[in-house]
Amino acid sequence: MDIPVFEKLQKEGLLSTEVLEQIKVHEKNRHISVQWDLRTLLYLSILMVSAGLGIVLYKNIDTIGHATLVTLTGLLAGSCFFYCFKKSAPFSRLQVASPDFWFDYILLLGCLLMLAFVGYLQYQYHVFGMRWGLAIFIPMVFLFLFAYYFDHIGVLSLAITNLGAWMGIAVAPMKLLRSLEDSDENIIINGVILGLLLHLFAWLTTYINIKKHFAIVYKNFGLHVLFISLIWATGSFDNYFWWFLALAAVSFYHIRKAIAARNFYFLVASVLYGYFGVSIVVVKLLANVHSNGDLEILLGSIYFIGSGIELVFLLISLNKKFNKQ
Amino acid sequence: MIAYNKEWLYSRHVLAQADEALHEQCIDQVTFNAISEKHPVKFYTPNFFIRIGLAILTAIILLFIAVLFLLAANFKSAGGVGVFIGILSIAVAEMFIHSKNHYNSGLDNMLVWAGGYSLWMGLMAILYEGYSHHDVLLGFIGVIIFLVLAVRYVDTICAIVATLFFLFFVYTAYKHFGTGWPMATIPFVMILVMGVLYFVSKRAMRSPGMLLFHNCWLWVSYVALVCFYAAGNYVVVDYFRDSLKTTPDISIRGPLLFGWFFWSWTFLIPVIYIVIGISKKEITLIRIGLPLLVIGILTFRNYHHVMEPETALMIGGTILFVISYSLISYLREPHGGFTFKPDTFNKEIPDMTKIIAAKLVGDVAPIDNKPQANNDWE
């Protein structure tokens, strides 16, 4: 705290001498928090040791053998989960505090080791045969279960990422049958489905009242996935009109929801994503104008300047509206 | 001199201090209310995310205004367009500041930054042709433009950019003395200049007249600290010597002249930063010193292959683990002015950043999703 400022406040009669002295004593005895720094160092040290260990194992795989390594990884993951089950409080629908400082780290380590374990099994021994999707689906189910049981947003994020990977992989074999453009279309449609699915999860979480605080995580992932997929669809498909309509509807829905919930983050994201979508359509339409190029640039620039200014005033007025509420 | 209302800027600082005092329970709500009544702030500073949105939109608008003018000029005289856009955006910033009381609204920040950059680019394009000391001028004009903007708009980013331009200016100007002795002494000159800049900024931070520029000076001091180290780091000195080798007089190979000095500098300076940081309770010095120490070690490994990377990683990781684990245990109760207890007062970070962080690093780092539990060290 800036002591001279408080001395001035005291001279202005806004602080008593006792309070000023109290502030001075407080500032003198103040302790600087190094929690963030030490946590980062601890995390880095674990990362360094595991990276070093990983390289050693990789270099000596011939002498160690795959079987030993897989067993070791599985055992380590198992012991992490054993610790977590032993330490954690019983399951609750509400938010639960983690029992101690190490719990979060060990749970996350266990989950990462589990992913490595299953991946290794599939890569080396083809446990799931040619069904590569299954090698992602099974750990994903466990990740969701652990995220809910141990109440861990980090693990939930991992599970959602895996869900996306699973949906991406599920369409990949079709690449063999279809052309590149078609498989891109599949990925985009899967993205839209994933976005909608995550919105559904967010709604269900609140509706059936189970770990309500997870809803915001689902919604955050869902919003970005859905918007990016729709913008991609609008930009790359020939019959973009319907995709654009869907994008406009989603933007409208999210802007209304964000205003109702007074959520600035979702509001700005929805407004900007919607704006990008509209701009893509405008640029596409301008590309159809047949001139020597100058007219398109002129019209495009006027559009971006005009719409940009309009949106600036819109954001300013929305901010004022929020503050008044 | 300052574009913003100085009284409100001061009141803003007072309120930030009072807010912290309230949080630390040094003053009560009644006192806080009395202070905020006596020190009103009427700036227009919207929500953090609205600010980001406004800044992005302003950048888009400015970009297309530039395109429009370039089109009008038939894509010739880019320099003139640059200067015009620069003056225009700074004039618009002034208008928003004076008529709408914008302060850190995203809009005024972007207008000032883009204005400065555009002005600098424009001037460089105009002056480029037929000037032999173009590189020196590049730095000099950068210093002037961004220094003026930093002073007028109390802007930390402009202050940092001005400092970097100053560094570049000193380097290029000194280089023009020739290729013999000036080249061998460049590191010492840079060390001296950055050292002086650090002490000037430290003095300025203590001066009551510089209260409103405290943050600018603070960041200038950080840049000076890092550059002070970099100027004497072995690999940096070696790189610049190599980069200058194209000139005919220089035929230096092998170890550096004053090599022992630069090696000691590479390792000693970070340690000194950390030691001073601990003794003076300056956390930033420690935060700068630690990565610099890692850079020092990497610099050494760049020249001397002492052990395999995996062995180095494991040994380094183990040492780091032991140190951080012991420090966490030791600082459960405050010692020497430091504590492992979290700093609950946070002025800057809005709640949603946690969610963004969860999204970005969710798959690599543990997320503090249970704040009340993180204090429980058992």
H, E, C per residue of B151-218: HHHCCHHHHHHHHHHHHHHHHHHHHCCCCCHHHHHHHHHHHHHHHHHHHHHHHHHHCHHHHHHHHHHH
pLDDT band at B291 (very low <50, low <70, confident <90, very high): very high
Q: Look-up: residue for tokens 């002494």?
A: B185
Asked whether the predicted pLDDT for residue B375 surpasses 60, the reply is no
Whether B107 sits inside 8 A of A312 (CB atoms) is yes
Q: Is the pLDDT of residue B203 over 50?
A: yes
The values of phi and psi at residue A152, to 5°, are -135, 115
Distance CA A113, CA A118 (A): 9
Mutate to test the interface with B, among A14, A19, A20, A259 (most CBs of B within 10 A): A14
Spatial separation of the C-alpha atoms in residues A201 and A216, rounded to whole Å: 10
Look at A169-178, B161-170, B307-316, B353-362 and tell me which has the smallest mean pLDDT.
Answer: B353-362
- Which residues does chain B have within 8 Å of residue A151's beta carbon, measured at their own beta carbons? 369-370
Q: Does A18 have pLDDT greater than 50? A: yes
Q: What is the pLDDT of residue B245?
A: 54
Residue type, A49: V
Which pLDDT band, with edges at 50, 70 and 90, does A304 fall under? very high
Query: A45-49, B344-348, B351-355: which has the highest mean pLDDT?
Result: A45-49
CA B216, B219, B225 angle in degrees (round to 5)? 140
- A272 CB neighbours in chain B (<8 A) are 53, 56
Name the nearest CA neighbour of B145 among B127, B130, B165.
B165
Amino acid at B32: F
Average confidence (pLDDT) over A124-152: 87
> Cβ contacts of residue B280 below 8 Å, gap of 6+?
none
Determine contact, residues A152/A88, Cβ cutoff 8 Å: no
Instruction: Find tokens 């700036």 and name the residue.
Output: B43
**So what's the ipTM on this one?**
0.83
Mean pLDDT in residue range B313-322: 90
**Mean per-residue pLDDT, B26-36:** 87
| Chain B partners within 8 Å of A24 (Cβ) | none
Kindly report the pTM of this predicted structure: 0.83
Q: Is A1 at the interface with chain B, CB within 8 A?
A: yes
Question: Residue B250: its pLDDT value, please?
Answer: 44
* pLDDT greater at residue B209 or residue A238: B209
B374 vs B92, residue with greater confidence: B92
d(CA A277, CA A228): 9
Give dist(CA A314, CA B138) in Å, integer. Answer: 39
Task: Give how far B204 is from chain A: nearest CA, Å.
Answer: 15
B58: which chain A residues are within 8 Å (Cβ-Cβ)? 308, 312
> What's the confidence (pLDDT) of residue B28?
84
What is residue A32's three-state secondary structure?
Answer: strand
CA-to-CA separations, B294 to A51, A279, B360, in angstroms, rounded: 17, 46, 25
What is the Cα–Cα distance from B4 to B12, expressed in whole angstroms? 12
Closest CA–CA distance from residue A176 to any residue of chain B (Å): 30
Amino acid B254: pLDDT: 61
Q: Which residues pair with A33 in a beta bridge?
A: B339
Residue A275 has pLDDT above 80, yes or no: yes
pLDDT value at residue B373: 33
Confidence band for B60, pLDDT divided at 50, 70 and 90: very high
Would strands A32-33 and B338-339 be described as parallel, antiparallel, or unpaired?
parallel
| Spatial CB neighbours of A168, under 8 Å, sequence gap ≥ 6 | A187, A190
Give the pLDDT confidence of A85-112 residue by residue, as tens digits: 998 888 888 888 878 778 888 898 899 8
Residue of A nearest to B74 (CA): A294
B158 pLDDT more than 90: yes
Q: What is the pLDDT of residue B132?
A: 64
A10-24, B95-109, B239-253, B335-349: which has the minimum mean pLDDT? Answer: B239-253
Contacts across the A-B interface (CB distance below 8 Å): 250
Lowest mean pLDDT among A55-59, B218-222, B223-227, B246-250: B246-250
| pLDDT value, residue B358 | 39
Question: In whole angstroms, what is the distance from residue A60 CA to residue A75 CA?
Answer: 20
- Test A42 with B325 for CB contact under 8 angstroms: yes
- SS3 for B338? strand
* A175: confidence class by pLDDT, cuts 50, 70, 90: very low
pLDDT for res A62: 79
Give the pLDDT band (50/70/90) at residue A174: very low
Give me chain B's average pLDDT, please: 83
- Report in angstroms the alpha-carbon separations of A105 from A118, A160, A205, B209, B332: 20, 19, 25, 48, 18
pLDDT band at A197 (very low <50, low <70, confident <90, very high): very high
Rounded to an integer, the average pLDDT of B169-185 is 80
- Residue B346's pLDDT is 55
Reduce the DSSP state of residue B245 to 3 states and report it.
Answer: coil
- Establish if B278 touches chain A: CB-CB under 8 angstroms: no
CA distance B199 to B201: 5
Residue B243 binned pLDDT confidence (cut-offs 50, 70, 90)? low
- The domain ranges of chain B are 179-306
B203 against A179, higher pLDDT:
B203
pLDDT tens for each residue of A232-250: 888 888 888 889 999 999 9
Share of chain A above pLDDT 70, in %: 94
